Structure 1
Amino acid sequence: MKTFLAYSLVVILLNLTGTAAAENWRWVNPIPTGNNINEVSVAGIQCAWIVDDAGIVMHSSDGGLSWTQQDVPVQIGWATLTFVDSLYGWVAGGIANPGENGIIIHTSNGGRDWIQQTGGINHFIRDVDFVDRNHGWVIAQSRFDGPYMIISTINGGILWDTLAVVSGYALYAMDFVNATKGWAVGKRVQDSACVLYTADGGGSWTEQLILNDTYFGDLCFLDSLNGWATSSCGLVFHTTNGGLTWSDQLPPITIGGRSRILFRDAQHGWIVSGTGTRPILTTSDGGQSWIHFQSPTSASINSIASWDFHHAVAVGAHGYIFVTNDEGANWTETSYRRDWAGVCSGVFSDSMHGWLIGGISDGNNAIDKIWCTTDGGQFWMEQSLGINTSLKSGCSADANTVWLLGHNGIVLHTDNGGAFWQQQTALSGRNILNFDFHDTFNGAAVEGNSIFITSDGGESWSEYSSTYWGSYSDVAYADALNIWAVGSILVNADSFVYAGVVNHSGDAGFTWTQDTLEGFGELIHVTFGNPSVGFITEHYGRRLLKTVDGGTTWIENPNPCRNVIDWINATNASDIWAVTDLVEIVHSTDGGSTWTLEPLMYAHWLRTLVAPDPRHVWAIGTDGCVFRYGEILSPVPDNDKPVVATTFSVSAYPNPFNPQTTIAFDLPADGRVILTVYDLTGRIVEKIVDGVLPRGSHTLTFDGSKYASGIYFAQLQAGHSSRVQKLMLLK
């Protein structure tokens, strides 16, 4: 049964507890998100919130060490957020297109519940600021190139009023210190950077500072007197009299761009920048001098927030999150990720068993990598392939039998769940585009105008060639006898006109019947939910075809959107999953009659999805990003083994630790136990124990004194049961 491939992973643990989690989308790599994080806000004791450019909101209650996704009524792309205390917060944003409205969501209990506020803001929102639970403002724009406005609320966002249309200016950020006094920065539309000031809550604005520069990008005011602003040329300006006069403070390194500035008191401040060398600057004398710390990543740092001048959290592109406890001298990444950028795809035979594949460069050559999970993706193990074939796709017949397709027709096969892979060479030298297996013996593959059939698990193949010049792009089984291949065929050689072609076999590939679909262009994907119900996608025409009579007739089905359907899979006759325009995931539960747009998880390109059944779906994006839909189930334990998963536990204390932590675990029966510590790359750091232990409670010590600060994983194995505990070493 066909499943397009997913992504290669190293040893990884999903941050989930219990035997099942809610049936929704969650990130697998990176964690907690792979999107750009635009904003972070802190409040209370160690509480923090972030929002990424897909509108996903996450919360930390331990100073940024771990994050939990919060359920929101609507995801707001390219949003900003602010919290005034540990309970009250707002997320605001919108799409910069004519006719699109700004969106604001609000929580009054720290994010446990969010509600959408519909207070009459019909514009694109660029910034939000609140000084207390009632008084707030947004910078809004009526359309992409329209005038900027200041809109305010005095009742926590229930109602909003437009106070000022600030014509002739582009505003990027604002900061209010009370209900009446505030500042905004940006640029004059025609020439220079500017700082504006209001003393009446935003109703009227006056220029305070004009600079012959591109723009002012950010500002921070502590009170009605003391404030700072950053310019695009890398200067920092400071006022001690509410903006009547400003003095420039020159950092030791060019910050450039829209840098972010934050002060906790009159002396201690931070600057982060997403351009140049991504510097992080700190000051302890009000900005008179700045200490430059090298950014912990080459990715852009988009925002910083701090509880005090010692403890801060910085966020940036690709989901990077860092915390510091020593004023920025050292940073610890609390997001964790694997180097999966070269991974192209993967295979899942069911909700528990999967293989993720791709290539990783060793500096000179690309090396094939594959990782296997047997517990629904909570833990991954690397499996050796032994050769480099530039793997690109694969399919499975069951949890043990898998085929992987490489370039030049190289096929790798396992019948023991990946413990050993054997190279099959019968298709070597062929440019195989796609293949599918119905069971452990019978499979089909396509190349050009040829279809190949195997009945011995891929050891040998027979070829069927079309009499017409064309090219097949996909092949799929409807059942053991019915096979479908789709592609395009040249119908007019003089004008190079192509039509869609559908080829069908009703006898397991011995004979074929070819139909040309006039009026349809290249057909790229075919999938069947059962022998009667199937779908075909057209590329350039963006159309979707459906049959309910086993292919006797094909009718045009409603397209779930106006975009190209890049991938489609019918897990049964009713449940259909598809990717459109390389970004959106859509789902139908009524055979394609109606479609639901799934929540946006990844704001960049998706490579494909893997849907082994209607309730478990894996999505694979660029830059090593993987997320999944569905509940996480504990594997069914082997009754012959003494350890039962439901009574098997592991914990660590203290955690975070420096330099030692105690790992405690309970065994309900005697048996062999292996306790191994891995680092973030999946490399074994230390094997603490490998031997037979009696039932009961046990404690062992992990000493991290010779290891660097960061995240580690302690994996406890006993029989077929496995548990993983995340460890945080902070030095």
Structure 2
Amino acid sequence: MKHINIFLSLIILIVFCTVDVHLSLSQWTQSNNGLGNSIVNSFAIKGNIIFAGAYGSGVFLTTNYGENWTQTTKIENEPLVSSLATNSNNIYAGTLWYGLYLSTDNGANWIQTSFSNASVYALAVNENSIFAANNSVYVSTNNGANWTLRGLTTSQVLSLAVNGNYIFAGTQNSGVFASSNNGMNWSQTSLDNETIYSIAINGSNIYAAAGPHLYLSTNNGINWSQTSLNYQHIISIAVSGTNLFAGSNTFGVYVSSNNGIDWTQRNDGLGNLNIEAFCIINNYIFAATNSHSVYRRPLNELLAIVPLTNVLPVSYSLSQNYPNPFNPVTKIRFDIAGSSVTQTFLTVYDLLGREVSVLVNQNLKPGTFEVDFNASNYPSGVFYYRLTAGDYSETKKMILVK
């Protein structure tokens, strides 16, 4: 029996030592098969289809979550696609200088709408209304056949977002404007002297990316507070549940799980740190970059962990996951001890020792933390999870039963 135990221990040791080589695989990976190194700066989703707008290359689509991309029929004049939106079967492509194009067959054919010979910096959809922004805001209620000017003629409008009856417009140098009647009237919010590159909404939370600062409003723009992410040149935002993603044009991707109070930079694997746009679908997050096309990463690899207490642990420890067995989500709690920041990894492996997911890969201060492992995309079976922090390492087993 002693020889058997030694033999099994050696197998486990060899497996997990071998897996160390693959830690770098849990990172952003380039999703550019068919895209090349296009400059991509906009996304739109229609069902399980992702559309990507590229400068000078038109619109691409993927039906398998970025495994490969296909160029749709070229838009006349091969314009720079600056914005995308979908509404039912309609796909709208806003361009620089050539206006707005419409496709009703997933890009097999494009027609130029009557909004032509102008740049379209942003698009938004509210039920049957499509809003297009350049030096003002226009609206169409008949799929782009006709357009009506809806004000904001004092500044370039760079971003649009819809929240119920409210429409928000981010402008150059004049902050955020809001309308509560489908754009008939606009009022300037208290965020009134910044250039707003992107707006994202999650419930009552409205986020505005203003380059040096990222702002939050919880009352439809009446008041704004500055998040802790400052001077990072933020130009794109995305939200998923309680998680917030911010893209910089210089410093890559930042992640927050508490409405912008705390942030973690997550750039491992990114070949370009100019993040133009995000797209979240099917537990993946996509990042559009300025010169390296699109990158993709499993969403659960980026979600920030949750600190549970301010009491400092006296030792490192890894708790048994709960519930166990589980389906499909389980929680893993661990303690980080010491007096300084520690590079920490929490990694999940399958029964053969193959890396499944990296739940944590960041510098952590001493404390007690908890992270979710979502196994929705994995079959039933035995998994191992290992905590590595400094010289400390511990592995435990968990069972997924579907």
Interval of TM-score (by shorter of Structure 1 and Structure 2): 0.5 to 0.7
SS in 2 for 1:444: strand
Partner of 1:443: 130
Q: CA deviation at 1:551?
A: 2.0
Q: Show the 5 A alignment for 1:509-520.
A: 509-515=183-189, 517=191, 520=193
Q: How do 1:9-408 and structure 2 match up within 5 A? A: 111-113=18-20, 340-349=36-45, 352-358=48-54, 368-397=57-86, 400-408=89-97
% identical aligned pairs: 15
Amino acid of the residue matched to residue 113 of structure 1? D
| Counterpart-to-counterpart distance in 2, 1:521 and 1:345 | 21
Q: Is the aligned partner of 1:538 residue 2:210?
A: yes
Distance 1:408 1:451 in 2: 16
In our comparison, the structure showing a higher alpha carbon Rg is: 1
Q: Distance in 1 between matches of 2:197 and 2:59?
A: 27
Deviation at 1:607, TM superposition (A): 4.0
Task: Supply the distance in 2 between the matched residues of 1:416 and 1:624 (Cα, whole angstroms).
Answer: 28
Aligned pair count reads 282
Aligned-partner Cα distance in 2 for 1:600–1:351:
29
Look up the equivalent residue of 1:485 and give its one-letter code. A
RMSD (CA atoms): 3.4
State how 1:643-682 maps to structure 2 within 5 Å. Answer: none
Q: CA deviation at 1:462?
A: 1.0
* Residue aligning to 1:475: 160
Aligned counterparts of 1:460 and 1:411: Cα–Cα separation in 2: 12
Q: Contact conserved, 2:99 with 2:119, CA < 8 A, in 1?
A: no
Partner of 1:595: 263
Question: Is contact 2:60–2:72 with CA below 8 Å preserved after alignment?
Answer: yes
CA contact (8 A) 2:83 2:121 kept: no
Give, in whole Å, the separation in 1 of the partners of 2:271 and 2:67. Answer: 24
* Residues 413 and 421 in structure 1, CA contact (< 8 A), matched pair in contact too: yes
1:623–1:512 CA distance, 2 compared to 1 (3 A):
closer
- Residue 568 of structure 1 is aligned with which of 237, 240, 246? 237
**Change in 2 beyond 3 A, CA 1:370/1:570:** same
Render the CA deviation track for 1:416-443: whole Å, top value 9, x for unaligned. 322332221x22122332222234x312
- The CA distance in 1 between the partners of 2:81 and 2:108, in whole Å, is 20
1:265-308 CA distances to partner (integer Å, 9 max, x unpaired)? xxxxxxxxxxxxxxxxxxxxxxxxxxxxxxxxxxxxxxxxxxxx
**Is 1:552 the counterpart of 2:225 in the alignment?**
no
Q: Distance in 2 between matches of 1:115 and 1:421?
A: 44
Match of 1:455 in 2: 141
1:182-218: CA deviation from partner (whole Å, max 9, x where unpaired):
xxxxxxxxxxxxxxxxxxxxxxxxxxxxxxxxxxxxx
Letter of the 1:536 counterpart: A
User: SS state of the match for residue 74, structure 2?
Assistant: coil
Give 3-state SS (helix, strand or coil) of 1:510's partner: coil
- Corresponding residue of 1:621: 289
SS at match of 1:563: strand
- The alpha carbon displacement at 1:626 in A equals 2.3
SS at match of 1:567: strand
Q: Tell me how far 1:338 sits from its aligned partner.
A: 5.1
Q: Secondary structure at the match of 2:20?
A: coil
Residue type matched to 1:348 in 2?
A
- 3-state secondary structure, aligned to 2:48: coil
3-state SS of 1:436 partner: strand
TM-superposed deviation, 1:464: 2.6
Task: Output aligned runs, 1:674-713, within 5 Å.
Answer: none
- The 1:354–1:383 alpha-carbon spacing in structure 2 relative to 1, beyond 3 Å, is same
The amino acid that maps onto 2:201 is F
* 1:486 and 2:181 aligned: no
User: How big is the shift at 1:403?
Assistant: 0.9
Q: Letter of the 1:591 partner, please give it.
A: N
Does residue 527 of structure 1 match 2:200? yes
Who is 1:209 aligned against? Answer: none
2:298 corresponding residue in structure 1: 630
Deviation at 1:545, TM superposition (A): 1.5
Q: Which has the higher helix share?
A: 2
Distance 1:370 1:578 in 2: 24
Distance in 2, matches of 1:553 and 1:339, equals 41
- Partner Cα distance (1:603, 1:373) in 2: 21
In 1, Cα distance between equivalents of 2:116 and 2:156: 19
Distance 1:525 1:115 in 2: 35
- Whole-angstrom distance in 2 between the partners of 1:589 and 1:629: 17
The C-alpha deviation readout for 1:99-142, integer Å capped at 9, x for no partner, is xxxxxxxx9966413699xxxxxxxxxxxxxxxxxxxxxxxxxx
Q: For residues 377-407 of structure 1, what are the alpha-carbon distances to aligned partners after superposition, in whole Å with 9 as ceiling and x for unaligned?
A: 2343332135124132333335743111112
Q: 1:590–1:410: structure 2 CA closer, same or farther, 3 Å change rule? A: same
* Deviation, structure 1 residue 375: 2.2
Instruction: Tell me the equivalent position of 1:235.
Output: none
Instruction: For 2:100 and 2:138, locate their aligned partners in 1 and report how far apart those are by CA, in whole Å.
Output: 13
CA distance in 2, matches of 1:471, 1:388: 24
Q: Does the 8 Å contact 2:52/2:61 carry over to 1?
A: yes
Tell me if structure 2 keeps the 8 A contact 1:606–1:622: yes
TM-score (norm 2): 0.61
Mapped to 1, the partners of 2:293 and 2:38 lie a distance apart of 11
Structure 2 residue matching 1:583: 3-state secondary structure: coil
- What amino acid does structure 2 have at the position aligned with 1:535? Y
Shift of 1:349: 0.9
Seen in structure 2, the aligned counterparts of structure 1 residues 347 and 399 have a Cα distance that, compared at 3 Å, is farther
Contact 1:585 1:598 in 2 (8 A): yes
Distance 1:345 1:631 in 2: 20
CA contact (8 A) 2:139 2:149 kept: yes
Q: How many Å separate the matches in 2 of 1:427 and 1:399?
A: 20
C-alpha distance 625-471 of structure 1, shift in aligned 2 (>3 A): closer
In structure 2, the CA distance between the partners of 1:375 and 1:558, relative to structure 1 (3 Å rule), is same
Deviation digits for residues 235-274 of structure 1, max 9, x if unmatched? Answer: xxxxxxxxxxxxxxxxxxxxxxxxxxxxxxxxxxxxxxxx
Change in Cα spacing, 1:513 to 1:341, as seen in structure 2 (3 Å) is same
Q: Could you tell me how far apart the structure 2 residues matched to 1:339 and 1:555 are?
A: 39
> How far apart, CA to CA, are the structure 2 residues paired with 1:507 and 1:388?
36
Distance 1:380 1:341, change over 3 A: closer
CA contact (8 A) 1:527 1:535 kept: yes
2:116 partner SS: coil
8 A Cα contact 1:339 1:624, kept in partner? no
Secondary structure of residue in 1 paired with 2:189 = strand
| Deviation (angstroms), 1:614 | 8.6
Structure 1 residue 504 corresponds to structure 2 residue 174: no
Contact 2:54 2:82 (C-alpha < 8 Å) held by counterparts: no
**Deviation digits for residues 314-339 of structure 1 (CA, Å, limit 9, x no counterpart):** xxxxx9xxxxxxxxxxxxxxxx9656
Residues 620, 501 of structure 1: alpha-carbon distance in 2 compared, 3 angstrom cutoff: closer
- Distance of 2:138 and 2:288 partners within structure 1: 28
Q: Any stretches of 5+ residues in structure 1 without a counterpart?
A: 1-86, 88-106, 117-318, 320-335, 360-365, 490-499, 633-731
CA–CA distance in structure 2, aligned partners of residues 343 and 431 of structure 1 = 18
